[in-house]
Amino acid sequence: LILDIASWTLFVIGGAGVVTGAIGIIRFPDFYTRLHAAGITDTAGAELILLGMILQSPTWLVAAKLIIIGFFLFMTSPVSTHAIAHAAYVVGLRPMLGPELKREGEA
């Protein structure tokens, strides 16, 4: 019963984090802040959901596979987010700064 409560708590918190990231993608003004919202919440939400799945796993083999998947996500998600941001910067997409944000907010 305690493992069920803990795992479902992790599921709900992870799902809320992913939904928060989706809202951030819609609400934030430029590419870099949207990418930041997507990258952070994708990693954190997926890890919390995977932790909940580990608590629900029936055997150690399944838990070990989920741990490997979580490690892979933990290592690759920030790297891919950085690569996307760097590629956008190299192509010429510059971040919005203070005065640009104020002008966009007035429009």
Cβ burial, residue 48 (10 Å; 0-12/13-18/19+): buried
Tens of pLDDT, residue by residue over 13-58, are 999 999 999 998 999 888 898 998 888 888 899 999 999 999 999 9
Domain limits, the chain: 2-106
Contact 51, 10 (CB under 8 A): yes
Task: Please state, for a pLDDT cut of 70, what percent of the chain lies above it.
Answer: 91
pTM of this structure? 0.80
